[in-house]
Structure 1
Amino acid sequence: MNPNICKQISVLGVPMDLGADRRGVDMGPSAIRCAGLEARLEQLGYAVQDEGDLVVRRAKAYSSTLPETNMKYAYEIVRVNEELAEKVAAITAAGDWFPLILGGDHSIAIGTLAGVTRYKERIGVIWYDAHGDVNTPDTSPSGNIHGMALAAALGFGHPALTGIGIGSGGVPRIDPRNVVLVGARSLDPGERIFLKQHGVTVYTMHEIDRIGISAVMEQAVRLASAGTEGVHLSLDLDGLDPEDAPGVGTPVPAGISLRESLLAMEILSASGLLTSAEFVEVNPVLDLRNKTAKAAVELIASLLGETIM
């Protein structure tokens, strides 16, 4: 991904904190912008159009018109993701704009992926995250929807989530065999079963330490792109080690370093297969001098073609 391929980037913020049920992450889009995102992208030769932020309304945890469920804030999360799906679909339909979505918590990935796949028959997904996010209401220990996002995008879970952007009768356009989880180090028991049953490739920190991030990402790109029209990156900043990204709601020690992550972004960029991206879970309330948002900008720049030489 570089300005010679796509010269225009559409930035959209989604200040969602309901999926994580923790305040602060709703300020993530502003923190990333304040860390110099637009200027950095313009230096790389891109035209940047900032679409602003979607509106996320406050809600009570279990106030919902949905059937009885343990999913917290389900009604508002579904509403916002439906709107997000339409916005991303419109950006994708334009053809010459690259959608860059800023979160917010990871529940917004449901809407992003629904929008991206509206005009693409099949895409692959690299899910860069310490967590699996493949719980369903039946397996979730918390009821937090940010931990159900990938499962919902694959068509598993409550119909209100799986139908976002495609309707209740829609068929998901993401094949689990084209989904690669990178950086996993905190998986719930139900998630381990799900990932094995459905053929999602998982690179834990064990594989990253053993064969290196370069080999992991090269394999991830190959798997995610096999038979697809491109690859979407969904990057949760808690995929990084808390030393490099302290401002996240669910930090897990012994993660991927910022240096390794920059290389991972460069490898994905060099593939020329990137169709869209989202960066989520930056929480300025928990951060140190906006360190995590600055890391996000560094990663975005590397993903979009920045190199030392």
Structure 2
Amino acid sequence: MKTYRYLKSANTPFIDRYVTKAADLVKPWDEKKIHDVGLIGVPLSKTSISHSGAAFAPGTIRKALGAFTTYSIEDDLDLGNWNIDDLGDITMHVTDQVLSQKRVYETLEQLYADNNHFLPIILGGDNSISYPTIQAFHKAKGKVAVFQFDAHHDVRNLEDGGPSNGTPFRSLLESNVIEGKHLVQVGIRDYANSLVYRKYVEEQGVTVYTMKTVRQRHIQALMEEALNKVKDEVDAIYLSVDMDVLDQSQAPGCPAIGPGGMDAVTLFEAVEYLAQQEKVIGLEIVEIDPTVDFRDMTSRIAARVILDFLKGKQKSTKKNV
């Protein structure tokens, strides 16, 4: 049989034998043991109060991992030994948003019960998923602190629109899943919130760092300050990254874009620093709408956030050896 040396299957990408792409670390889960990391998609965007195609984001973030190698030249560190199991996407109900959130909670609760030691990386979806994701995390891990990177407080009242992407942290606080003193909000942006909701989070004892504070102080100093307030009072810490914390120039694929937001490098530094803490054992990324993005810019930032989270965990492991 003849062979043709230069013929390849259609759409075969260029392969360099000396380069490992981050996407190569992700393998389909065999529904048995979850190894190091479990990647879970939550494609829900019907709960958004503005137009959103965030349900498509889990797929674009996975694809964006292929844009990066596993080698961090800044730290001379390779992430190539991580095992990432892709657990797939949680199936949403077509019309019932509350039932969809219930499915998120029940799925994660079962996964944690069966595999309590994996690192969950959850890909939203809009910010409404934070209520069931953190609720399940709390059920599995105990008392939880949350570092919320967000332009908004997300404590809207529940009477005007039900459980939307503007209400998850109000639901978490009022159901006592988390305490106000264990919630740290980073990157709250000017002209994106209301006086009533600012007073609400103050009354709850939430630590709030506005973008003005982020600009004036180094992000690592802020994160260290906040950690010192919560780390000895909780069993686990969860990172919730709403991509609209970023400035609109860097994250055009967010439904609620706006000027005056955080730059991507500051977000990377914060996530990497926090991930080095032993109690930080969960990450979610929400609020990307690939249908309005430009060249998947926002999804690529999300993929980079995942890599910096893993880099932080790896640096922490090296320190503990």
State the TM-score, normalized to the length of structure 1: 0.81
Q: 1:53 aligns with which of 86, 89, 98?
A: 89
Q: Deviations over 1:255-292 (max 9, x none)?
A: 11011111101110122221211100111111110000
What is the 5 A alignment of 1:197-236?
197-236=203-242
Q: Would the alpha carbon gap of residues 91 and 224 (structure 1) be closer, same or farther in structure 2, given more than 3 Å must change? A: farther
Q: Partners in 1 of 2:80 and 2:155 — Cα distance?
A: 35
Given residue 78 of structure 1, which amino acid in structure 2 is its aligned partner?
V
1:110 aligned partner: 131
Given residue 57 of structure 2, which amino acid in structure 1 is its aligned partner?
G
Is 2:195 the counterpart of 1:175? no
Q: Partners in 2 of 1:261 and 1:23 — Cα distance?
A: 23
Residue 111 of structure 1: how far off its partner (Å): 0.8
Which structure has more RCO (C-alpha within 8 Å, separation ≥ 6)? 1
Q: Partners in 2 of 1:278 and 1:57 — Cα distance?
A: 21
Q: Is the 8 A contact 2:247 2:263 kept in 1?
A: yes
Is 2:169 the counterpart of 1:129? no
Q: Partners in 2 of 1:126 and 1:91 — Cα distance?
A: 22
What secondary structure, in the 3-state scheme, does the structure 1 residue paired with 2:110 have? helix
Q: Is the 8 A contact 2:129 2:168 kept in 1?
A: yes
Residue 49 of structure 1: how far off its partner (Å): 1.4
The number of equivalent residue pairs is 271
Q: 1:14 aligns with which of 19, 27, 42?
A: 42
Q: Is the 8 A contact 1:40 1:301 kept in 2?
A: no
What is the 5 A alignment of 1:286-297?
286-297=292-303
Q: Deviations over 1:77-120 (max 9, x none)?
A: 22122111122223333222111110010000011011101122
Residue 240 of structure 1: how far off its partner (Å): 1.1
Residue 223 of structure 1: how far off its partner (Å): 2.6
1:147 aligned partner: 166
Residue 56 of structure 1: how far off its partner (Å): 2.2
Q: Partners in 1 of 2:37 and 2:259 — Cα distance?
A: 33
2:105 aligned partner: 85
Q: Is the 8 A contact 1:31 1:293 kept in 2?
A: yes
Q: Partners in 2 of 1:150 and 1:224 — Cα distance?
A: 17
Is 2:306 the counterpart of 1:300? yes
Segments of structure 1 that go 5 or more residues without pairing to the other structure are 1-5, 60-75, 156-161, 163-171
Specify the structure having the higher radius of gyration (Cα): 2
Segments of structure 2 that go 5 or more residues without pairing to the other structure are 1-33, 71-77, 316-321
Given residue 182 of structure 1, which amino acid in structure 2 is its aligned partner?
V
What is the 5 A alignment of 1:69-84?
76-84=96-104
Percent identity, please.
28
Q: Partners in 2 of 1:106 and 1:78 — Cα distance?
A: 14
What secondary structure, in the 3-state scheme, does the structure 2 residue paired with 1:95 have? coil
Is 2:97 the counterpart of 1:97? no
2:56 aligned partner: 27
2:7 aligned partner: none
